[in-house]
Chains A and B, each alone.
With several copies, the nearest count.
Chain A
Amino acid sequence: MIQQERMTVVCQREIAKNIFEMTLQGQIVQEMTPGQFVHIRVSNLLEPLLRRPISIASIQKEANEFTIIYRAQGRGTNVLSQKQIGDEVDVLGPLGNGFPVEAVDKGGTALLVGGGIGVPPLYELSKQLNARGVRTIHVLGFQTEEFAFYEEEFTQLGETYYVTDDGSKGFKGFVTDLLDELQLDFDVFYSCGPLPMLRALSSMYEDKKGYISLEERMGCGIGACFACICETNEGQEKNYVKICSDGPVFEKGVVKI
């Protein structure tokens, strides 16, 4: 159930250039699944006004904690990055429908492809897939090395490839170039990142089962305001979906991207 909670900051650190990892503690952690997101109010003041949607990067149910990884880029995320341990943050969540971990059978292989700030939700996904006995391969794209993060974390869970625009870390080019080269064998792919990447993947692996996570500017985050609409492809039940409540994760081919 969606809840609003004042959660406590238990950890905040900069893990790459302008990229922050923040751990929050509270009850709503119990309801979270990978690929879902939370909607965060960064201040009680009236500016910045709107909540910010941020993916759940990892869940520590026993500790009642979860972690987000976000880029401090605009007004809201900058305010968030100034929070200190012990501060409270107003969190609405968990929101949306996450990645279906059950889409790969035990013993199967999942390909996880992330780009930039789309990488975080793949971490909890990978943890849960591994827990189910699914082999995970991670292909993670970043602008340059200084923006890359979580190498150790992903490497521990499975084969991990890095791709950067300038080759400063791992392969140079687009993730799709590397994928072309690697010719990986897998059962299902999961992806989150920039639209061109999602598009390329969807056509590259046309015959594979795949799930993509989308972004859009949001108002309510719960499906009431029609801010985050995406048209669907022909043959779908409805001619549009709401990214916040029907998504953010969709099966490949459902929405027009």
Chain B
Amino acid sequence: MNRLDIQLPGLDLKNPIMPASGCFGFGREYAKLYDLSQLGAIMIKATTLEPRLGNPTPRVAETPAGMLNAIGLQNPGLEKVMAEELPWLERFDVPIIANVAGSTTEDYVEVARRISTAPNVKALELNISCPNVKKGGITFGTDPVIARELVEQVKAVSKVPVYVKLSPNVTSIAEMAQAVEIAGADGITMINTLLGMRLDEKTGKPLISNVTGGLSGPAVKPVALRMVYEVYKAVDIPIIGMGGVSSVQDVIDFMSVGASAVAVGTMNFVDPFICPKLIDELPAKLDELGVKHMKEIIGRSHR
């Protein structure tokens, strides 16, 4: 019996563990380390219509139990992702969740329309929460009205279920979640990074060339957990939770507050084998908790 499998709109997951977008590229590097077919799914790097070079370096900085990044959605662009990256990923038996980004509604819609036709793309993750780009990204993610409209348009063209990635940099994330649910989102992924800053110690100037960056890693886990808890109460669509996952206990925690699956971001950099390790460790953890199937954990904080 598979004790770990999870069914979500568009996604038949062998287990609830997947690398988070932007922390795994398009899988090529990690494929040299382990068999990607082990993963529940893969959230690929944000794809935009045109290739993007991203922000100038430095793009990352360490913080207490976390890190800041301002990559700026660097990616080879839709054409190349469709022509090279996605076909390459077909060798693995793993569903792909395509992270879709853009500067305008038209961008998002066009990328969604086309990338959703790739055979291994089983769901889209609409990135309305990237804090590191001047246009688009976060503005779509902080205004429920704008978010709703975008999601409606994307839903109209996508061939696969659409998950919306929410930003934690809002007063009420539950309100954002409800807006995208009403707009027809099939699921929610959360959280993207918290906006933060670090300085160069000598000059006092921002260390990251983009001035601010997105905070991720274990430091943000308490905030992410709280937000998943709130959103679980506010909507009926499933949630893929993330933010600082570093251990199998963290996976249990996210699912307890209501996530149906869990993504791992920053910790891939610290331990490149973390995803398969977590998958390996889950059954023993279920035994310890006296639980037969992973699904029983989902939402138990609320019961």
Q: State whether these chains interact.
A: yes
Instruction: Mark interface residues in A113-133 (1 if CB within 8 Å of B CB, else 0).
Output: 000000000000000000000
For residue A155, which residues in chain B have a CB less than 8 angstroms away from its CB?
A: none
> Chain A residue with minimal CB distance to B268?
A220
Query: Which residues B28-61 have CB closer than 8 A to chain A?
Result: 28-30, 32-33, 45, 53-54, 57-61
Are B25 and A49 interface neighbours, CB within 8 A?
Answer: no
Query: Which residues B216-273 have CB closer than 8 A to chain A?
Result: 217-218, 246, 266, 268-273
Are B57 and A223 interface neighbours, CB within 8 A?
Answer: no
**Cα–Cα distance between A230 and B53 once the two chains are bound (Å):** 10
Binds A, one of B5-13, B64-72, B107-115, B174-182: B64-72
B62 at the interface (CB under 8 A from A): yes
A218-B60, A223-B29 given; name 15 further pairs at CB < 8 Å: A1-B32, A2-B33, A46-B64, A46-B217, A48-B62, A49-B67, A50-B62, A50-B269, A219-B60, A219-B67, A219-B269, A223-B25, A224-B25, A225-B23, A226-B71
**Cα–Cα distance between A224 and B69 once the two chains are bound (Å):** 13
A62 at the interface (CB under 8 A from B): no
B74 at the interface (CB under 8 A from A): yes
> Chain A residue with minimal CB distance to B57?
A216
For residue B217, which residues in chain A have a CB less than 8 angstroms away from its CB?
A: 46, 49
With A2-B33, A219-B269 as given contacts, are A229 and B74 in contact (CB-CB < 8 Å)?
yes
For residue A71, which residues in chain B have a CB less than 8 angstroms away from its CB?
A: none
Q: Tell me the smallest distance from the CB of A10 to a CB of chain B, in Å.
A: 24
Are A229 and B59 interface neighbours, CB within 8 A?
Answer: yes
Main secondary structure of the interface of A (DSSP, over half): loop
Are B54 and A216 interface neighbours, CB within 8 A?
Answer: no
Are B64 and A227 interface neighbours, CB within 8 A?
Answer: no
Chain A interface size, under 10 / 10 to 19 / 20 to 34 / 35 or more: 20 to 34
Q: Tell me the smallest distance from the CB of B109 to a CB of chain A, in Å.
A: 25
- Number of CB contacts from chain A to chain B under 8 A: 100
A240 at the interface (CB under 8 A from B): yes
**Cα–Cα distance between A75 and B268 once the two chains are bound (Å):** 21
With A219-B69, A220-B29 as given contacts, are A227 and B270 in contact (CB-CB < 8 Å)?
no
For residue A228, which residues in chain B have a CB less than 8 angstroms away from its CB?
A: 57, 59
Are A49 and B74 interface neighbours, CB within 8 A?
Answer: no
> Chain B residue with minimal CB distance to A238?
B76
B283 at the interface (CB under 8 A from A): no
With A1-B32, A49-B65, A217-B61 as given contacts, are A226 and B54 in contact (CB-CB < 8 Å)?
yes
The 9 lowest CB-CB distance pairs between A and B, nearest first, are: A224-B25, A224-B29, A227-B60, A46-B65, A220-B269, A219-B269, A223-B29, A46-B218, A226-B74
13 pairs from A and B in contact (CB 8 Å cutoff) = A1-B32, A2-B32, A46-B246, A216-B58, A217-B61, A218-B60, A219-B60, A220-B269, A221-B269, A223-B28, A224-B30, A225-B60, A225-B269
Are B23 and A51 interface neighbours, CB within 8 A?
Answer: no
Query: Which residues B48-104 have CB closer than 8 A to chain A?
Result: 53-54, 57-62, 64-67, 69, 71, 74
Chain B interface size, under 10 / 10 to 19 / 20 to 34 / 35 or more: 35 or more
For residue B69, which residues in chain A have a CB less than 8 angstroms away from its CB?
A: 219, 225, 227
A160 at the interface (CB under 8 A from B): no
For residue B272, which residues in chain A have a CB less than 8 angstroms away from its CB?
A: 4, 92, 220, 222
Most buried by B among A47, A92, A226: A226
**Cα–Cα distance between A223 and B28 once the two chains are bound (Å):** 9
**Cα–Cα distance between A49 and B24 once the two chains are bound (Å):** 18
Q: Tell me the smallest distance from the CB of A40 to a CB of chain B, in Å.
A: 11
Most buried by A among B54, B59, B71, B266: B59
**Cα–Cα distance between A20 and B74 once the two chains are bound (Å):** 36
Are A226 and B270 interface neighbours, CB within 8 A?
Answer: no
For residue A203, which residues in chain B have a CB less than 8 angstroms away from its CB?
A: none
Q: Tell me the smallest distance from the CB of B59 to a CB of chain A, in Å.
A: 5
Most buried by A among B28, B62, B65: B62
Q: Tell me the smallest distance from the CB of B209 to a CB of chain A, in Å.
A: 11
For residue A218, which residues in chain B have a CB less than 8 angstroms away from its CB?
A: 60
For residue A216, which residues in chain B have a CB less than 8 angstroms away from its CB?
A: 57-58
B196 at the interface (CB under 8 A from A): no
A27 at the interface (CB under 8 A from B): no
With A219-B69, A219-B269 as given contacts, are A225 and B22 in contact (CB-CB < 8 Å)?
yes
For residue B23, which residues in chain A have a CB less than 8 angstroms away from its CB?
A: 220, 224-225
> Chain B residue with minimal CB distance to A227?
B60
For residue A229, which residues in chain B have a CB less than 8 angstroms away from its CB?
A: 53-54, 57, 59, 74
With A1-B32, A47-B65, A240-B53 as given contacts, are A217 and B271 in contact (CB-CB < 8 Å)?
no
**Cα–Cα distance between A220 and B266 once the two chains are bound (Å):** 9
**Cα–Cα distance between A4 and B33 once the two chains are bound (Å):** 9
Are A222 and B29 interface neighbours, CB within 8 A?
Answer: yes
Are A217 and B59 interface neighbours, CB within 8 A?
Answer: yes
**Cα–Cα distance between A216 and B69 once the two chains are bound (Å):** 13
